[in-house]
């Protein structure tokens, strides 16, 4: 938690405008924003935690639970939808037994449906951590996930 204090120390002027940059830094440092972090930020900025949650969820870029070791983002934008992403999403859900916003029990994988990932011409698209996979098919996604599962064995 000292890390959070270090982040807060970078914002010596207690201004509510600093909320989003502070939350971004906390998320960058920890991968998500814990309840404890929200309370600390709330005390620091003198804001109720409910208000912080409300604002943070509005921005749709913050995670309040830790992501899996392999965080899968799959594009749910219009172009990828037209290119059949629903079959890919169903396959991932079937293999891992999780839905959007959930983690596998062992925390190995988490799944997130996102808006356009900016490579519409190569859809359906997903990213696992920072690696992108394009032109996905059901067969391709099965192999990719199996490879990650084997890395963990």
* Alpha helix ranges (H) inside 18-118: 19-30, 35-45, 49-59, 78-82, 85-96
If one asks whether residue 20 binds ligand FES (CB under 6 A), the answer comes out as no
Of 34 and 134, the one with the shorter C-beta distance to ligand FES is: 134
* Residue of 43, 78, 107, 129 that binds ligand FES (CB under 6 A): 78
* Residue of 19, 22, 75, 127 that binds ligand FES (CB under 6 A): 75
Query: Is 94 within 8 Å of 144 (Cβ atoms)?
Result: no
**DSSP code of 75?**
E
d(CA 39, CA 29): 17
Total residues contacting ligand FES by CB under 6 A comes to 12
If one asks whether residue 119 binds ligand FES (CB under 6 A), the answer comes out as yes
User: How many CB atoms are located within 10 Å of the residue 36 CB?
Assistant: 10
- Name, in order, each residue with C-beta under 8 angstroms of 143's C-beta and a sequence gap of 6 or more: none
* Residue of 77, 109, 111, 127 that binds ligand FES (CB under 6 A): 77
**Pairing label, strands 131-133, 109-114:** unpaired
Write down the least CB distance from residue 98 to ligand FES, Å: 21
Write down the least CB distance from residue 129 to ligand FES, Å: 18
- 81-100 footprint of ligand FES as x/- string (CB under 6 A): --------------------
Of 55 and 120, the one with the shorter C-beta distance to ligand FES is: 120
**DSSP code of 67?**
P
**DSSP code of 16?**
G
* Residue of 38, 88, 117, 126 that binds ligand FES (CB under 6 A): 117
Instruction: Note the residues at the interface with ligand FES (CB under 6 A).
Output: 75, 77-80, 116-120, 123, 125
């Amino acid at each position: 938690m000292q890390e959070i204090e270090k982040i807060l120390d970078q914002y010596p002027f207690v201004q509510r405008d600093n909320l989003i940059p502070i939350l971004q830094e906390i998320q960058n440092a920890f991968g998500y924003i814990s309840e404890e972090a929200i309370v600390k930020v709330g005390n620091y900025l003198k804001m109720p935690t409910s208000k912080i949650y409300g604002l943070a969820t509005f921005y749709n870029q913050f995670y309040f639970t830790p992501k899996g070791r392999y965080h899968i983002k799959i594009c749910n934008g219009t172009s990828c939808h037209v290119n059949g992403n629903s079959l890919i999403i169903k396959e991932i859900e079937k293999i891992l037994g999780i839905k959007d916003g959930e983690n596998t029990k062992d925390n190995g994988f988490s799944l997130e449906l996102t808006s356009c990932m900016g490579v519409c011409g190569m859809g359906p698209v997903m990213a696992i951590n920072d690696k992108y996979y394009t032109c996905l098919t059901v067969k391709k996604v099965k192999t990719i996930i199996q490879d990650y599962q084997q890395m963990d064995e």
